[in-house]
Amino acid sequence: MKRNVRMVLRYDGTRYLGWARQPGKDMTIQGKIEAVLEKMTGSPVQLIGAGRTDAGVHARAQVCNAIFDTELSEEEILSHMNRYLPEDIGVVSVKFVSDRFHSRYNASGKTYRYTFWIDTAKPVFERKYVTILEKKPDTEAIRRASQFLLGEHDFKSFCTNSHMKKSTVRTVDSIRIEEKGSAIRMYFHGNGFLQNMVRVMAGTLLEAGYGRIRPEDIPLILEARDRSKAGPTAPPQGLMLMKVDY
């Protein structure tokens, strides 16, 4: 019996080339999961993800779905997946849903977290999930700058795909800056994000924190629609997909 199966995943993206399957390369999140599903069902399975995380980016709650023929229960599918997937990919939940559910098209929003680390002590246990800074930025300047990114804008200046043919207009409805211990965490929520958009926003806000740009420069960067006007793309390991809304 064909079922549409919705899965929530978590993964450490450190050793993977990103979410999306790539011809001739087996180190992708999608590829690893599809291989286990094919072994389970005996037929090729196409997995649809809510978003395509980049190489080295992590996820705490990535949502995906696939339609395949199975007589197994939700619990049996969950057990099989976690038994045969690599240790750095885990399935949190499995649920049968209607055939109309599409993990990408039905998503209404996403939350990403970017983590910077400032400390004289090396982040031995957190090293795969943070970006280390040599000096502390001005977090109040970061907060002021972040306010200019809120709302609906053309974020072309914050997209690394120079050949993007679709609309680059997105809505960012909240940015929260949190300081806790040695970490500075930036939480971004919006209706969708362009390629590397969160990492470019994080890198640009950090520039504001170091005084290399003024918070008031952000509207000019947005209006330019030119990637070279925004700050650097922050490294991938500090980024985590936290939640997908439906």
> Which residue numbers are catalytic?
54
With 0-12 / 13-18 / 19 or more C-beta atoms within 10 angstroms meaning exposed / middle / buried, residue 55 is middle
With 0-12 / 13-18 / 19 or more C-beta atoms within 10 angstroms meaning exposed / middle / buried, residue 226 is exposed
Q: How distant, in Å, are the alpha carbons of 34, 58, 102, 185, 201 from that of 122? A: 37, 20, 42, 17, 25
Q: Are strands 131-132 and 109-117 parallel, antiparallel or unpaired?
A: parallel
Q: How distant, in Å, are the alpha carbons of 13, 145, 163, 206, 217 from that of 29? A: 8, 34, 25, 29, 37
End-to-end CA distance of the chain: 26
> Which residue's structure tokens are 């390629």?
195
Q: Are strands 48-49 and 183-190 parallel, antiparallel or unpaired?
A: unpaired
